[in-house]
Structure 1
Amino acid sequence: MLITPDPATPEGEAIIELAEELDALQARTGEWPGADTVDILGDWLSRFTFATSKVLTRQVTGRAWVLRRWDRHDDEVTLWADEASALAALAQHTRSSWDNVAGTDGVPYRPPADDQRAVDLYYGPKGHRGDEGYTLYAEDIARYAHTPRSLSLADDEACAEANSAAVFHPMTGPDDEGLPCIELAGILVFAYLDADMRAVRVSVHLDTADERLAQADGTIPLQVEIEDATVFSTLGARPAPARAPAWKARLRRLTDRTALHSVRVQRKGD
């Protein structure tokens, strides 16, 4: 099978130019002299890059509050899940060092109970305490997601790869208008406490699901279970799996770790 280069593409044009240059060499010398041929090919290959580049999708998987606090003795950076926790840690430090500022520049002798007020009084106006300071800001936690080349519900490896790329989108605070959500292969699963319904509510949205999960009729196979009971399924009658599903083994491991952590906390309390 012969391949005809397309002169409308940069690659095809380059191949045609190479062929013309080699034809001209043969017309001049009656052959392809090795040295001349190597020079021509070297110049031609230098026009190409053979570096492989893969476009990766950046996913924001959460947010961390970065607290940096420094003084004459320490310079430490800690990460916190929310601003209030970071501020509480900073306020705890200011209260333990309150004697450094008590009674100066209108600072009371006892630290206030409010964390923000304690921090503001201790550090004063920006740059006022040259030997101590802090910065507190939010930073996205991100990763590059590797989308499976093939995604099939019948492929264990592809499913495991897609599961490992799942992202949890938490609420940023009580005033956040969003809801906690798990994103998996384009599927959105919301699980939250609904005060209006007075119930734990789970909502599954399939309209943005990866099209490779769809069946011939365009629907996404779905089964919903609570504990060991199937409460909804589009699968129809199917034989029981020959082995325990992987998610049950992972759930048991999570339950065991949680129980072990509770025992350790209880022992520390005793």
Structure 2
Amino acid sequence: MITPDPTTPEGEAIIKLHEQMAELRERTDEWPGADTVDILDKWLALFDFTSPVKRTRLVAGSVWVLRREDRHEDDVTIWSDEDSALAALAEHVRSSWDNVQGNDGIPDLPPLEDRLAVDLYYGPRSERSDEDYWLYGTDVGRCVRTAPASHDFRFPDEKVSAQINSAALFHAPAGPDGEGLPCIEIAGVLVFAYLDAGMQAVRVSVHLDTADELVIQPGQTVPLHVQVEDSTVFSAGAVLTRPTGGGRRQWLRGLSHRMPWRRGD
């Protein structure tokens, strides 16, 4: 059985149709043809069956693609970073070193350095025949709606958003021995950013339990869009109402360049 999602325009429309038909049945003890046709006619007019939903492609991350080809296989693998992909390729090279051992300029044992081992094994690209490889980085795409959903929820406009942004609070921990973590609070949303020694990483944690009703959609969800540099790493409920300019990114980059100087480094 399908349960309509009230947080989507489609689901909301289906629920409203159900309510209208239920009200008609309760009022007339049947579904009169003329009334039913009138309800369905207005309901179908809400939909556009002629054009696709407009979407914008965002970068949701990046990966490294390793393709390795020989006479026996054509293998493609995905890696989170170049070093990992190169290490995997070097592992294959070392396990197949007998294929090149004894050739001019090839040592008896493969080098410990991954790049050197790969370069010696495959040689110049113009001289490769039976074996070859390709290693390159590429973006992971994500398509999002470019028009706001047609339900009652309306995200704060630019003026209201600017007012809320200017009222953001920073909660600092009470010294290195105190409890708590550095946190930014905006519209009731808590964003913790801190160094996690246990995870050996800069950790960012978003908590939505105390979010202001201004940013809560029907269904008790908060539209959230998270970026690291220029890559979107998470997006749920966000819709693009207009192209995002590069001015804010330039400002952030400029701020990052000024920060060491401002800290006195």
| Larger gyration radius, structure 1 or structure 2 | 1
Whether TM exceeds 0.5 here: the answer is no
TM-score, with normalisation over the residues of structure 2?
0.41
More relative contact order in 1 or in 2 (CA 8 Å, sep 6+)? 2
Taking structure 1 as the reference length, the TM-score comes to 0.40
